[in-house]
Chain A
Amino acid sequence: MSNCGSSIRFTINGRQCVVQTPPMKRLLDVLREDLHLTGTKEGCGEGECGSCSVRMNGELVNSCLVPVLQAEGATIQTVEGLAVDGRLHPLQQAFLHRGGAQCGICTPGMLMAGAQLLSINPHPTMGEIREGLAGNLCRCTGFMRIFESVMAAAAQDYAPSTARAADAR
């Protein structure tokens, strides 16, 4: 299988790369198997859960639904490309402080959906956040702290809200 591939070129997390691969191989599998970028997860394989979300040419895509040939010449960002020089991205900061990640399996996709939303709408309303994350399923958090994390990242105000902390004590 590996010797009947095409050469596909794209930019991944700011780096040029070429992969020899069957052209219909899922982008998700190319990321995980060929490039060893295992931060992108598979949850359903049919575009329902969003765990495999990556940003491609400024759009959020489910990488399980993208044949890699469509990535020819594309610019792709995965979760591994969010932190710069070891500094967490504002969304990562916010998720860490606000409890936006629990089991962590939806987190890479959720972060990419959040990054996509903030790139086109730097100060979203709660309704816009819900809509922006509607393609990404989380089974642990009930979404509340994910919404709060995206809000916090937009405001770059990371500490857990005092109201909640007070409620909890």
Chain B
Amino acid sequence: MSTSDTTRIVGAPVHRKEGVDKLLGRARYVDDMEREGMRHGTTVRSTIPRGFIRSIAFDRRIDWTEFTVVTAADIPGKNHIQLIFADQPCLADGAVNHCDEAIVLLAHPDKHKLREAAAAVKIEYEPLPAIFTIEESEQQGVIVRGTDNLIKSFLLEKGDVDSAWANAAHIVGGEYRTGAQEHLYIENNGMIAEWSAAEGVTVWGSLQCPFYVHKSLLAVFDLPEDKVRVIQTETGGAFGGKEDFPSILAAHAGLLAMKSGRPIKMVYDRMEDLAATTKRHPSRIRHRTALDKDGKLLAMDIDVATDGGAYSTLSSTVLSRATLHSPGPYVCPNVRVRSHSWATNTVPYGAFRGFGAPQAIFAVERHMDEVAAEIGMDPIELRRRNFLHGGDTTATEQVMREPVILERLLDRALGESDYYARRSRFARDNPSSAVKRGMGIAAFYHGSGFTGSGERYLNSLAGVDVTLEGKVRVLVSSTEFGQGTNTILAQIAAEAIGVDYDDVVMAPADTGIVPNSGPTVASRTSMVVGRLIERAGAQLVAMLREQDGLGEHFTREEFFAACERHRAAQGEVRSLCRYEAPANIFWDDRKYRGEAYPAYAWSIHVAQVAVDTVTYSAEVENFWAVQEVGRVLNPVLAGGQIEGGVAQGIGYALYEKVVLQNGHMANNQMTNYIMPTAEDVPPIHVFFEEIPFQHGAYGAKGIGELPHDGPAPAILNAIRDATGVGFCAIPLLPEDLFAKLAAPETVAEGAAL
């Protein structure tokens, strides 16, 4: 591995690879594409949360001969969406398990005729009792899935929690809740499909994981691998929301294409996207914590519950990550985490940036401040006394082999934010002000890459080839959706080979062209896929030296000349590498013990918050994010990842509420699902400490999800500092602040807090 001092392109703020196309408005998103003879598709969805479908009638006022109509009966293969499990139907057949579940598909040449036609499909149901909360599901009064409503459970145990309580100086309990959150990518889900007997199914769409869609289409269409082709179009934001859902939309568009014999475009409008697609799992997390008289942790007993919705999607792996992040970045000899994901009759919850970690970290980092208050210790000091260090073991008994620099990050964060001076100034000013200010922190890690043995199972393949036009081309199924895949991987390829950044292009994310480098999820692209590209580049140079007379030192002209000699002799210039797990990695899936992640990114967030006790609005006035993510491959892109994640985390904490009415999202519009605007985000100050990770590309670890983990607990801790009241649930809206801060007696006295 090269060190940070010797790289030319890695670490430099090179321009985004597809940046000019995006700035000129010529980047092609799926809704910008047309196909010859294309028709438009739409979806008829369930209007009840649970029940049997008794009949489907087509109103005679519509001339249905103009339309293509697809139901479950038209599916040539299996009527399920293949993900971890295969429990979600592609189209409901006989029964529905949530509102807005797809039942009938329609297509017509004129998209303006679809709305009226969809309303003219009359579906009669025999309703069944439905449940919408974790509590209703775990009480098992109504069983909506299997025999017990349980999607997945885990038990993680270290030491002996039950024996620790007797010796504790302090025992502190707490319960913390998080709501659903919508990704709110600005480009809605969309897909175009074509079908022919000779070619099978081809789809173009807004998606993160071409081979997830590919695998799912194989089952729905009962086709061999070479008869399904998935091509990613420019993707306008994803955040996990285009990890699992596009498999459904691709199948729907493909079915309409097969039945009509025409290309089909299906692009959701905002209301449909909000109502029908996945969101972040709501959670309820309980902590019971034992400490000695010095504030050292003795035991953590944690109960994690998530609402998985009507089908399993990725709930089991989201629960896994929540479980593994729930004890926080602390050393504790006795830890038990019991976790359950429960089925309800809501739209399935799915992947969302952080993937269970934001829920878990909200709970543990809010809890640490409650513990500190309970035992009379400064919350910074409590954390400092319990931080993990290199050589310590985590709750899964993973030994921290790499350096852990939480104290350095904390000191930097306290210094950059002028934490103590601000805090004391606010404490002095608050009593005479209607606006109460406070400072809050959160300390956390985010595991990079797939959990446990996940990367081994993925067995990713990636590499480079050299085109006839004389460009190095990166061959990955890893996709660009704003986070910088194209740029980072091109930087790595150019660095590893020794050519210019402009000499490198990305192959289209097309399953007919690129190998399966795994899904673009789990903060794995820079670290894992980037490492494959680094190795493939070095392997290509070694091959050209050995076989084609490339010298020890070479110019880019000499490199491309050697490539052409290789092509003349071998027919192609291509170098692929397969994932190799680092040595000494052991994970026991049954006992949930061992190396949970190959690497961890570490971060401290500090929030300055103002709570207006007249309007009961809370505003984040300033935000500091200090992190160690290994080597920073591109400072402009890395900074943008942190800032964007923090802003999304601020929305999670203070603005974004999914309101369900009988299982249907009632506020499925941007008018009433509120995200932070340009006037709401505070200045976000971003600082990196770099410790290269030896198994990541040029020392990189994961970065993308980390910044979403910390804002919510840091902000609510700051609100506690400002008001003296600990709020334990998000989103925390003005009405929630009002309910607790405007207690009747204080209102009667006309006084603020």
Chain A residues within CB distance 8 Å of chain B: 1, 32, 37-46, 48-49, 51, 78-80, 82-83, 88, 92, 95-99, 101-108, 111, 129-131, 133-134, 136-147, 160, 164-165, 167-169
Residues of B within 8 A of A83 (CB): 24
- Given A46-B671, A95-B23, A169-B4: 5 more A-B contacts, CB < 8 Å: A51-B186, A130-B678, A142-B645, A145-B643, A168-B636
> Among residues 692 to 736 in chain B, which have CB atoms less than 8 Å away from a CB atom of chain A?
none
Cα distance A32–B20 in the bound complex, in angstroms? 20
> 12 A-B residue contacts at CB 8 Å?
A44-B670, A46-B270, A99-B637, A101-B22, A103-B481, A105-B186, A136-B678, A139-B184, A139-B186, A143-B678, A144-B643, A147-B678
Q: Is B222 an interface residue when CB atoms closer than 8 A count as contact?
A: no
Residue-wise, chain B 224-240 has the 8 Å CB interface mask toward A (1 for contact) of 00000000001111110
Closest chain A residue, CB of each to CB of B637: A99
Among residues of A, the one whose C-beta sits closest to the C-beta of B234 is: A104
B22 touching A139, Cβ below 8 Å: no
Q: 10 nearest interchain CB pairs? A: A39-B25, A105-B236, A103-B482, A168-B635, A104-B22, A142-B647, A142-B643, A79-B25, A102-B482, A48-B670
Q: Is the CB of B681 within 8 A of A142?
A: yes
Instruction: Determine whether the beta carbon of A46 is less than 8 Å from that of B669.
Output: yes
CA distance A143 to B22 in the complex (A): 17
Known: A130-B678, A139-B237, A142-B681. A160 touches B23 (CB 8 A): no
Q: What residues of A have a CB within 8 angstroms of the CB of B112 in the complex?
A: 1
On chain A, the residues within 8 Å of B32 by CB distance are: 32, 38
Contact, CB under 8 Å: A142 / B646: yes
Given A103-B187, A105-B186, decide whether A143 and B239 contact each other with a Cβ distance below 8 A: no
- Whether the pair B16, A99 counts as a contact (CB closer than 8 A) is yes
Instruction: Tell me which residues across on chain B come within 8 A of A168, comparing CB atoms.
Output: 13, 632, 635-636, 638-639, 686, 688
**When A40-B25, A104-B482, A144-B683 are in contact, do A98 and B186 touch as well, CB less than 8 Å?**
no
A164, B675: Cα distance in complex, Å: 26
Q: A102-B644, A143-B647, A144-B681 are in contact. Are A48 and B187 (CB under 8 A)?
A: no
Q: Nearest CB to that of B650 among chain A residues?
A: A142
Q: Which of B15, B21, B29, B640 contacts A102 (CB 8 A)?
A: B640
Given contacts A101-B23, A104-B27, A105-B186, whether A1 and B669 have CB atoms under 8 Å apart is no
Asked whether A49 lies within 8 Å of B237 as measured between CB atoms, the reply is no
Q: Is residue B31 within 8 Å, beta carbon to beta carbon, of the partner chain?
A: yes
Task: Report if B110 contacts A (CB, 8 A).
Answer: yes
Alpha-carbon distance between A147 and B644 when the two chains are bound, in angstroms = 13
Chain B contact residue count (CB 8 A cutoff): 66
Contact of A44 among B236, B237, B669 (CB under 8 A): B669
Contact, CB under 8 Å: B13 / A160? yes
Q: What's the minimum C-beta distance from B137 to chain A, rounded to whole angstroms?
A: 31
Q: Are B639 and A41 closer than 8 Å at their CB atoms?
A: no
Instruction: Determine if B31 and A141 form an interchain contact, defined as CB atoms under 8 angstroms apart.
Output: no
A contact residues around B644 at 8 Å (CB): 102, 139-142
In the complex, what residues of B have CB within 8 A of residue A101's CB?
A: 16, 19, 22-23
Pair A1/B671 contact, Cβ less than 8 Å: no
Does B11 lie within 8 Å of A169, measured CB to CB? yes
Interface residue from A1, A105, A136, A139 paired with B239 (Cβ < 8 Å): A139
* Chain B 667-681: CB-based contact to A (< 8 A → 1; otherwise 0): 001110001011101
CA distance A163 to B684 in the complex (A): 14
B154 interface hit (Cβ, 8 Å):
no
Residue B579 at the chain A interface, CB threshold 8 Å:
no
Contact of B482 (CB < 8 Å), options: A44, A140, A144, A147: A140
Contacts A101-B23, A102-B640, A134-B677; A41 near B683 (Cβ below 8 A): no
| A168 and B185 alpha carbons, distance in the complex (Å) | 26
Cβ–Cβ < 8 Å partners of B27 in chain A: 104
- Name the residue in B20, B24, B686, B690 with the highest tally of chain A Cβ atoms < 10 Å from its Cβ: B24
Distance, CA A44 to CA B681, complexed state (A): 21
Write the nearest CB–CB distance from B300 to chain A, whole angstroms: 32
Given known A104-B482, A142-B647, contact A49–B678 (CB-CB < 8 A): no
Min CB–CB distance B187 → chain A (angstroms): 4
Q: How far, in angstroms, from A78 to B238 measured CA to CA in the complex?
A: 25
- Are the C-beta atoms of A167 and B687 separated by less than 8 Å? yes
Contact partners of B183 in chain A: CB under 8 A: 139
Residues from chain B with a CB closer than 8 A to the CB of A48 are: 669-671
What separation, in Å, do the CA atoms of A145 and B29 have in the docked complex? 23
CB of A103 within 8 A of CB of B237, answer yes
B482 and A145 within 8 A (CB):
no
A169 to B636, Cβ gap below 8 A?
no
Question: Which of B239, B646, B647, B690 is packed against the most chain A CB atoms within 10 Å?
Answer: B647
A39–B32 CA distance with the chains assembled, in angstroms? 8
Interface members, chain B 636-667 (any A CB < 8 Å): 636-640, 643-648
In angstroms, Cα B670 to Cα A44, docked, is 7
| Known contacts A97-B15, A101-B23, A103-B235, A138 near B186 by CB under 8 Å | yes
Nearest-neighbor residue (CB-CB) of A126 within chain B: B683
Chain B residues, Cβ within 8 Å of A108: 25
Chain B stretch 446-485: residues in CB contact (< 8 A) with chain A: 481-484
> For the complex, is B269 an interface residue (Cβ under 8 Å from A)?
yes
Q: Is B590 an interface residue (CB 8 A)?
A: no
**Does chain A have a CB within 8 A of B18?**
yes
Q: Kindly state whether residue B428 has any CB partner on chain A within 8 Å.
A: no
Docked complex Cα distance between A142 and B670 (Å):
17
A78-B25 Cα distance, complex, nearest whole Å = 9
B186 adjacent to A106 (CB under 8 Å)? yes
CB distance from A13 to the nearest CB of B (A): 11
Which chain B residues lie closer than 8 Å to A99 at the CB level? 13, 16, 636-637, 639-640
Residue-wise interface mask of B (100-124) relative to A, using a CB-CB cutoff of 8 A (1 in contact, 0 not): 0000000000101000000000000
CB contacts (< 8 Å) of A169 on chain B: these are: 4, 11, 632, 635, 688, 690
Asked whether A96 lies within 8 Å of B187 as measured between CB atoms, the reply is: no
Which residues of chain A are near B481, meaning CB under 8 Å?
103
Contact present for A98 and B24 (CB under 8 Å): no
